Homo-oligomer: A and B are copies of this chain.
Amino acid sequence: MGGTIKKHAMKIIRILCVVLLFVVVQNSNAQTKVERWGIYEYTIKGPLTGNPYNEVSIMAIFSKGGISRNISGFYAGDGIYKIRFMPDEIGKWEFETSSNIKKLSGKKGSFECTTPKGNNHGVVRANGLHFKYDDGTPYYPFGTTSYAWTHQGDSLAELTVETLSTSPFNKIRMGLFPKRYRYNFNEPNHFVFSGDKDEFDFTRFNPEYWDNLEKRIVQLMDMGIQADLILFHPYDSWGLSKMTREQDVFYLKYIIARLSAYRNIWWSLANEYHLIKTKSPEDWDYIGKLISEQDVYDHLMSIHNHPKQEFDWSKGWVSHISIQTHDMVHVNDLKVNLQKPAINDECGYEGNLQSEWGNLSAEEIVHRNWTALVHGVYVTHGETFADENDVLWWAKGGHLKGKSVKRIRFLREVVEQLNMNLDYNKPEAGGSNISGGNLNQGMLVYFGNHQPANWDFDFPEGNYKIELIDTWNMTIETLGEKYSGKQSIKLSGKPRTALRITKTD
Residues of B within 8 A of A352 (CB): 451-453, 493
Map CB proximity to B onto A450-474 as digits: 1 under 8 Å, 0 otherwise.
Answer: 1111111000000000000000000
B453 with A361: CB separation less than 8 A = no
How many of A's residues come within 8 Å of B, CB to CB? 28
A432 CB-CB contact with B under 8 Å: yes
Please give, as numbers and ranges, the residues of chain B lying within 8 Å of A353 by CB-CB distance. Answer: 452-453
Interface hits, A307-330 → B, CB 8 Å:
none
Complex alpha-carbon distance, A455 and B356, angstroms: 11
Complex formed: what's the CA distance from A432 to B355 in Å? Answer: 6
Q: CB of A41 within 8 A of chain B?
A: no
A449: CB under 8 A from chain B? yes
For A495, the closest partner residue in chain B by CB is B361
Interface pair B361/A451, CB less than 8 Å apart: yes
Chain copies in the assembly? Answer: 2
Do A452 and B364 have beta carbons less than 8 Å apart? no
Chain B residue contacts of A431, Cβ below 8 A: 354-355
Interface residues of A in 81-118 (CB under 8 A from B): none
A420 at the interface (CB under 8 A from B): no
Which residues of chain B have C-beta atoms less than 8 A from A386's C-beta? 453-454
CA distance A353 to B363 in the complex (A): 23
A433 contacts chain B at the CB level, 8 A cutoff? yes
A449 close to B355 (CB less than 8 A): no
Q: Could you name 24 residue pairs across A and B whose Cβ atoms are closer than 8 Å?
A: A351-B451, A352-B453, A353-B453, A354-B431, A354-B454, A354-B455, A354-B456, A355-B431, A355-B433, A356-B450, A357-B433, A359-B450, A359-B452, A360-B450, A360-B451, A361-B449, A361-B450, A361-B494, A361-B495, A363-B495, A364-B449, A364-B495, A386-B453, A386-B454
